[in-house]
């Protein structure tokens, strides 16, 4: 999917050799668009031009064209006026809103002629309603209030899925740049119907700053994004906490005993033989006193076991090891082994039998 991009108009002082006529139109059908465009050729030019259909947030009046490129023809040389009628592969803009449709004639990345369609266009794509997020530590919990399919009653969606990504760059369309955190396959939703009460839970990488929640639909071109919501990870300020003193622990304070000052007294020396005093008569030595803790009854505290298990490499895990994980059958384990190697968890989530819950469990036991 092409993202929101821009083109600029020309600043030529003279009129171009070719321009769009007034007889122009388009028809949307599934993943294609049929265009019928009148081209007015005034003189032959060697510079090829491309016809492009755009969806924009406002009508185009010159300057910079901002929006989504829906479809484009190959650059071609036209020698005379004609009607160009082609069916082109289309890329729809995401989100549920209406757009101004603009037809442009582009020569070497420069717009030389344009036409605004009077009627705005809505793209009937499944979308998300009432999404709420909650962060707790390194975990994120997402509640999706509703998923709605605005198409006609008899128009079934392709298989829908929810994906949560940790983005390494702003999302401008598929492919997404980042790490797939979790995926949940939802199923097929009929037109004019909705689902309610879906939840996603994922562990965040330590460097996660921006998340992207995507509603994706299976089409003949594979999964394409139908709706996207950017989620910012809150910044947690580091607060220095005062030490917590456990009242059940007795504090031991070591002090020094106070010694009496020694006073030197001068006296006449008497030469007498003095008998050795008995041990009991010896003066006591100065000692250090230590305040002894008072033992108090307290509840025994057990330390929580330290988790030492590291995730195992999924690309090296055997069938037996995979089957030891609760919820993985032998058939799914063989599918995982036979489809290796994997570069991203998104590839694992595409395997038959690997749903959102099982993928989340695999991520806690293994790594890629």
In SS3 terms, the chain reads as CCCEEEEEECCCCCCCCEEEEEEEEEEEECCEEEEEEEEEECCCCCCCEEEEEEEECCCCCCCEEEEEEEEECCCECCCCCEEEEEEEECCCCCCCCEEEEEEEEEECCEEEEEEECCCCEECCCCEEEEEEEEEECCEEEEEEEEEEECCCCCCCCCCEEEEEEEECCCCCCCCCCEEEEEEEEEECCCCCEEEEEEEEEEECCCCCCEEEEEEEEEECCEEEEEEEEEEECCCCCCCCCCCCCCCCCCCCCECCCCCCCCCCCCCCCCCCCCCCCCHHHCCCCCCCCECCCCCCCCCCCCCCCCCCCCCEEHHHCCHHHHHCCCCCCHHHHHHHHHCCCCCCHHHHHCCCCCCHHHHHHHHHHEEC
pLDDT at 312 over 80: yes
- pLDDT tier for residue 262 given thresholds of 50, 70 and 90: very low
- φ and ψ at 185, to 5 degrees? -80, 125
Task: Say if 27 falls within a structural domain.
Answer: yes
Q: Which domain holds residue 170?
A: 127-232
Q: What span, in angstroms and rounded, lies between the C-alpha atoms of 128 and 230?
A: 12
Structure tokens at 22: 């007034």
Last-in-domain residue among 98, 122, 146? 122
pLDDT of residue 289: 45
> Are 9 and 115 in the same domain?
yes
Query: Percentage of residues in the chain with pLDDT exceeding 90?
Result: 42
Last-in-domain residue among 185, 204, 232? 232
Average pLDDT, the chain: 80
Q: What span, in angstroms and rounded, lies between the C-alpha atoms of 294 and 253?
A: 12
> Are 116 and 61 in the same domain?
yes
User: Which range is least confidently modeled, 197-201, 250-254, 312-316, 337-341?
Assistant: 250-254
> Are 72 and 172 in the same domain?
no
pLDDT at 29 over 90: no
- In the chain, the number of structural domains is 3
Q: How many CB atoms lie within 10 A of CB 351?
A: 16
> Are 98 and 183 in the same domain?
no
Tell me if 211 sits within 8 A of 165, measured CB to CB: yes
pTM over 0.75? The answer is: no
pLDDT of residue 249: 53
Task: Say if 20 falls within a structural domain.
Answer: yes
Which residue's entry shows tokens 């199923």?
Answer: 187
Structure tokens at 229: 């919501």
> Are 103 and 48 in the same domain?
yes
Tell me if 91 sits within 8 A of 125, measured CB to CB: no
> Are 53 and 92 in the same domain?
yes
Task: Say if 278 falls within a structural domain.
Answer: no
Task: Say if 273 falls within a structural domain.
Answer: no
> Are 212 and 131 in the same domain?
yes
Q: What span, in angstroms and rounded, lies between the C-alpha atoms of 357 and 184?
A: 7
Last-in-domain residue among 232, 266, 281? 232
Tell me which of 241 and 367 has the higher pLDDT.
Answer: 367
Task: Say if 267 falls within a structural domain.
Answer: no
> Are 111 and 149 in the same domain?
no
CATH code assigned at 87? 2.60.40
Task: Say if 49 falls within a structural domain.
Answer: yes
pLDDT of residue 240: 55
Task: Say if 352 falls within a structural domain.
Answer: yes
Task: Say if 177 falls within a structural domain.
Answer: yes
> Are 153 and 93 in the same domain?
no
> Are 138 and 227 in the same domain?
yes
- pLDDT tier for residue 360 given thresholds of 50, 70 and 90: confident
């Amino acid at each position: 999917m092409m993202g929101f991009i821009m083109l600029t108009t020309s600043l030529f002082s003279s009129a171009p050799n070719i321009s769009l006529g007034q007889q122009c139109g388009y028809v949307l059908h599934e993943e294609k668009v049929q265009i019928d465009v009148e081209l007015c050729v005034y003189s032959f030019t060697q510079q090829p031009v491309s016809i492009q259909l755009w969806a924009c947030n406002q009508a185009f009046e010159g300057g910079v064209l901002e929006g989504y490129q829906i479809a484009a023809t190959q650059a071609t040389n036209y020698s005379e006026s004609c009607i160009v009628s082609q069916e082109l592969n289309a890329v729809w803009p995401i989100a549920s809103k209406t757009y101004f449709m603009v037809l442009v004639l582009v020569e070497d990345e420069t717009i030389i002629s344009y036409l605004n369609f009077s009627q705005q266009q809505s793209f009937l794509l499944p979308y998300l309603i009432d999404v709420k997020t909650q962060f707790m530590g390194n975990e994120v919990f997402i509640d999706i209030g509703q998923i709605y399919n605005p198409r006609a009653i008899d128009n079934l969606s392709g298989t829908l899925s929810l994906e949560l990504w940790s983005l390494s760059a702003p999302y401008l369309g598929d492919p997404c740049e980042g790490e797939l955190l979790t995926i949940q396959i939802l199923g097929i939703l009929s037109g004019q119907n909705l689902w309610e009460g879906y939840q996603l839970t994922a562990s965040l990488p330590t460097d996660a700053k921006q998340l992207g929640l995507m509603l994706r639909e299976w089409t003949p071109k594979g999964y394409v994004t139908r709706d996207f919501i950017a989620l910012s990870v809150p910044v947690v300020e580091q607060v220095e906490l005062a030490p917590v003193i456990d009242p059940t622990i007795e504090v031991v304070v070591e002090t020094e005993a106070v010694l009496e000052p020694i006073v030197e007294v001068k006296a006449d020396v008497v030469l007498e033989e003095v008998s050795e005093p008995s041990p009991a008569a010896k003066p006591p030595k100065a000692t250090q006193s230590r305040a002894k803790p008072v033992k108090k009854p307290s509840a025994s505290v057990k330390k929580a076991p330290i988790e030492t298990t590291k995730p195992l490499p999924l690309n090296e895990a055997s069938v037996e090891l995979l089957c030891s994980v609760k919820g993985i059958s032998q058939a799914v384990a063989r599918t995982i082994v036979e489809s290796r190697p994997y570069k991203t968890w998104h590839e694992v989530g595409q395997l038959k039998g690997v749903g959102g819950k099982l993928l989340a469990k695999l991520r806690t036991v293994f790594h890629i």
